[in-house]
Structure 1
Amino acid sequence: MEYKVEDLSPVKKQINITVPVDEVNAALAATIAMYRTNVDLKGFRKGKVPSSVIEGRFKKEVYSEATQDLVNVHINEVIGEGELSPVSRIDFDGGELVRDEEFSYAISFEVMPEFDLPSYEGIEVEEEKVIVDEKEVDEVIDRIRGNMAENVVIAENRAAKDGEIAVIDFAAYENGEPLEGVSAENFQMTLGDKQALEDFEALVKTITVGESGEGDVTFPEDFINPEFAGKTVTMKVTVHALQEKKLPELNDELAKKAGGFDSVEKMREAVVESYKSSRLQLNKSQAQKTMLDSLLKTVDFPLPDSMVDGHVDSLIQERIERLERQGKSVESLGKTPEELRAEVRPEAEEIAKTQVFLIAVAKKEGVEVTDQEVDMQLHQIAMRAGQEFHVVKDYYSKNNLLFSLRDRLLADKAMDAIYEKANVTEVEPKKEEEKED
């Protein structure tokens, strides 16, 4: 096999490969031998079917598999010898093997751009000191109390107010007919937290406990379910009970229930330590970003389109999921898919530029990511998603996401490598108005 590497652009390569006749015939013979071992044909003992019969009966499958196997072997050889690292899928341009004929084909893919890294050793960086904000600590303690609060029935026979929980039955009707999928029984609805339609909340707050009522409710034009978007329906509601959250007293008993702490003081100490740890990481991340932004301004290089497109897809998916959590559809943005992609592309390019830069740093510093580190990250992703590890890993593998995950971990390590060589100075935290400026 002979090959020639051609630069189609600073970030795209094409490799033209020529395979001699003897290698073509050897590849076909190897695939036929595999078929002879596994195929059962009437009139022949297993493993004894003549090669000519195999080739005649399974010619299409044999030639296709032999071509694919041979190309895969060549790709590994060429990429290994040339120390090339594709960042996109590998495109194949060629036909199939033909017995007793030379075989020529080409593969093309995108690679990382080559550029000179700026000097980053001793770069000046400011990192804010960690100062405990007692107000924020109190807010965490209040959230702990809120999570352990009990719902207590309100004895008064009246309508609900904001902050209370109404236990209701409800159903939607259109032209006197019930709408499927818009009904519930003994539904606990917290009022005032904007988790329900404004018209619906207003209706519930007009109904006294033990009574029923009805009123028109209009779904917003950007409602996530297009079947109901902009539609006005009649909502019938029965209020069974009102509840309010009763916060537990802040005492040692609560501390024990909250996390096995000996006392409120111990619980507060744990919250403070957690606060310091998270704030330290946040301040470090902010300092690292400032440092990286200054370094990125000193370099310019072309970006692989496949990498940018991948980040465009991720950003759009994040936006769709955010809209869905708000009960809205992507159509509510009033933009075509092309307009949406154009809108997020600058951000995707910034992400890609950062990734390319940090991967180049990783290569210079000899930083690597092991398979065990990738698996650890997948374990964390699986835990957050409430899924089995093997399910998440299979998904990442089948969708070619393992490489991008490895690159993200590599970029994180490279960032830490730069920061370790920086001249970091601790400074007082900025005031809120300074941060806004």
Structure 2
Amino acid sequence: MEYKVEEVSPVKRLIHVTVPAEEVDASLSATIAMYGRDVKIDGFRKGKVPASVVEGRFHKQIYSEATTELVNVHINEIVGELKVNPVSRIDFDGDLLKRGEEYTYTLNFEVMPEFPMPAYEGIEVEEEEPVVDPDEVQAVIDRIRNQMAELQPIGEDRAPKDGEIAVIDFQAYDENGEPIEGIKADNFELPLGEGQALVDFESVVKGLKADQEGEGEVVFPEDFLNEELAGKKVTMKVKLHAVKERKLPEVDADFAKKAGGFESVDQMKETVEKSYMQSRSQLARSQAQKELLDKLLKMVDFEIPDAMLDRHVNAMVDEQRHRMEQQGKSLESQGKTVEELREEVKPHAEELSRSEIFLLTLAHKEEMQVSEQEIDFYFRQMASRSGEDYNQLKQLYMENNLIWVVRDKLLADKAMELLYSKAAVTKVPPKKDEEGGEAPEAEGSAESEEE
């Protein structure tokens, strides 16, 4: 086998392969022999069927498999000799083998771009020191206290108001007075004034007293997930059974113990503050690492492989659609097409691709490796967070040939840690926003550990 490499672009390779007739015939003979060991044909003992009979009976399967096997062997040889790691699917263009004839075909794929690595030691970068306001800790305590509150009926005969719980039955009706399926509930506990229901619907509820019935018009938002109801006006009939208020527990040792097994309120507050500190430290470090990487990326220029860019774009589009669905919205309700969304996320995808290329190139330069134990640990952490089965999760990645994505992520993480360890890091106070407060952190950064 001989091949010639054509560099279509800095990241695209077109391989022209020529296979002599002798190698073609040898490949066909090997496949025929494999078939001959197992096939059963009347008049012949198993394993004793003449090669010509096997070839004639299974011609299409044999020539297809022989072609695939031969090309796969060549791919491994060529990729190994070129010392490249394809970042895209390897596309094959060629016909089936023909006995006694020279065989030619082409392979094309994308590879990582090559570029001179800039000096990355001693680059100055600032990392903000984490700070936690006591009011933030108290807000968490208040939120937990609110969650642990007991619901008690109010003693007054009046309409419910914000901050209270209305126990209601409700049913939606269309313009013809027919009940709408799926928009109905009995003895539903609705917190008022917390944004859990449409304002028009809450207005109907707030106009009633216990055991009263009422109705009102409610208009669903244009981006409502149920497209059949988006923008539609319905009549909502409501019966108010009772109004309840939250009886907040005292903030004492018993409260701390019930909230999370804490020995005291002080220990509870310390834990909340520690959680905030950890999350903000991680956030500050991540922001400083990004600043460092951005400085280095400005020193280099390279082409992004289309396959890598598409992978990031697809992931972002899927994530946004999933987030919309969780909010009860759909892409179509936002008046956007998939292609428009792809164009919106493309700049961010390009940024991620450039970062990934730089870090993987650095990892290769530093001869970094990722062990099977590290990959297993990654999947165990992912399974723990998602509640999925570890073995099934890993098997899913293996079946879809996605283990390399995990490996590259872990390599990039290692390379980023190496970069940061060689930077000149200066700790600085938190930056202030325009109103004088601390700059806002990423949403939800401390919530999971606090609760």
Which TM-score applies when normalising by structure 1? 0.92
Aligned to 2:181: 180
| Distance in 2 of aligned mates of 1:36 and 1:162 | 81
- Which 10-residue stretch deviates more, 164-173 or 4-13? 164-173
Rounded to whole Å, the distance in 2 between the matches of 1:428 and 1:151 is 44
Q: Provide the residue aligned with 1:73 in structure 2.
A: 73
Matches within 5 A, 1:114-129: 114-129=114-129
Pairs within 5 Å for 1:207-222: 207-222=208-223
The answer for the alignment partner of 1:278 in structure 2 is 279
Worse overlay, 393-402 or 371-380: 393-402
**Aligned partners of 2:168, 2:40: CA distance in 1, in Å?**
67
Equivalent runs, 1:28-427 vs 2, <5 Å? 28-174=28-174, 175-427=176-428
Deviates more, 1:349-358 or 1:269-278: 269-278
TM-superposed CA distance for 1:422, in Å, is: 0.9
Segments of structure 1 that go 5 or more residues without pairing to the other structure are none
Give the partner amino acid of 1:14: L
Write the distance in 2 (CA, Å) between the matches of 1:376 and 1:164: 46
Deviation of 1:278 after TM superposition, in Å, equals: 1.8
Deviation at 1:45, TM superposition (A): 4.6
Q: 1:28–1:66: 8 Å Cα contact kept in structure 2?
A: yes
SS across alignment from 1:216: strand
The alpha-carbon deviation at position 41 of structure 1 amounts to 4.4
Distance 1:428 1:103, change over 3 A: same
Specify the alignment match of 1:24 in structure 2. Answer: 24
Q: TM-score, normalised by structure 2?
A: 0.89
From the superposition, tell whether residues 173 and 418 of structure 1 become closer, same or farther in structure 2 (CA, over 3 Å): same
Query: Structure 1: which amino acid aligns with 2:405?
Result: S
SS at match of 2:109: strand
Cross-structure match for 1:10 = 10
Q: What's the secondary structure of 1:179's corresponding residue?
A: strand
The one-letter amino acid paired with 1:326 is: Q
Distance (whole Å) between structure 2 residues aligned to residue 217 and residue 178 of structure 1: 14
8 Å Cα contact 2:172-2:180 kept in structure 1: yes
Using a 3 Å threshold, how does the CA distance of structure 1 residues 29 and 150 change in structure 2: closer, same or farther?
farther
Contact 1:33 1:51 in 2 (8 A): yes
SS in 1 for 2:262: coil
- Between the aligned partners of 1:182 and 1:236, the Cα distance in structure 2 is 11
Q: Distance in 2 between matches of 1:375 and 1:195?
A: 40
Of residues 60-69 and 85-94 in structure 1, the stretch that sits farther from structure 2 once superposed is 60-69
1:377-418: CA deviations, max 9, x gaps?
223333333222233334333444333332222222111100
The offset of 1:13, in angstroms, is 0.7
Cα gap change, 1:107 to 1:153, in 2 (>3 Å): farther
The CA deviation at 1:188 is 2.6
3-state DSSP class of the match of 2:214?
A: strand
Name the Cα RMSD after superposition.
2.4
Q: Which moved more, 1:33-42 or 1:113-122?
A: 33-42
Alpha carbons 2:227, 2:333 under 8 Å: kept:
no
Describe the shift of the 1:18–1:151 C-alpha distance in structure 2 as closer, same or farther (beyond 3 A): farther
What is the distance in 1 between the residues matched to 2:61 and 2:153? 71
- 1:97/1:190 CA distance change after superposition, 3 Å: farther
The one-letter amino acid of 2:18's match is T
**Distance in 2 between residues matched to 1:45 and 1:315, nearest whole Å:** 59
Q: Does structure 1 retain, via aligned residues, the 8 Å contact 2:165–2:190?
A: yes
SS at match of 1:55: helix
Give, in whole Å, the separation in 2 of the partners of 1:47 and 1:178: 72
Structure 1 residue 436 displacement after superposition: 6.2
Given residue 209 of structure 1, which amino acid in structure 2 is its aligned partner? A
Question: Residue 349 of structure 1: CA displacement?
Answer: 0.9
Q: Which moved more, 1:316-325 or 1:288-297?
A: 316-325
Seen in structure 2, the aligned counterparts of structure 1 residues 205 and 69 have a Cα distance that, compared at 3 Å, is farther
Q: How far apart, CA to CA, are the structure 1 residues paired with 2:285 and 2:39?
A: 62
Q: Contact 1:365 / 1:417 at 8 angstroms: preserved in 2?
A: no
**Given that residues 160 and 209 in structure 2 are in contact (C-alpha distance below 8 angstroms), is that contact kept between their aligned partners in structure 1?**
yes
Letter in 1 for 2:89: R
Summarize deviations over 1:1-35 as a string: whole Å, max 9, x none: 22222211001111222222232233223333333
Instruction: Please identify, of 305-314 and 417-426, the stretch whose mean Cα deviation from structure 2 is larger.
Output: 305-314
Could you tell me the percent identity over the aligned residues?
59
Task: Give me the whole-angstrom Cα distance separating, in 1, the residues matched to 2:400 and 2:158.
Answer: 55
**CA drift at 1:46:** 4.3
Q: Which amino acid aligns with 1:254?
A: F
The residue matched to 1:432 in structure 2 has which SS? coil
Structure 1 residue 94, shift from structure 2 partner = 0.8
Q: Structure 1 stretches (4+) deviating beyond 6 angstroms?
A: 434-437
Number of residue pairs aligned between Structure 1 and Structure 2: 437
CA distance, structure 2, for counterparts of residue 34 and residue 248 of structure 1? 77
Matched, 1:431 2:432: yes
Q: Tell me, what secondary structure is at the counterpart of 1:100?
A: coil
- Cα distance, 1:26–1:199 mapped onto 2, change above 3 Å: farther
SS in 2 for 1:98: coil
SS of the aligned residue for 1:213 comes to strand
Does the Cα contact within 8 Å between 2:431 and 2:439 map onto a contact in 1? Answer: no
Residue type matched to 2:195 in 1? K
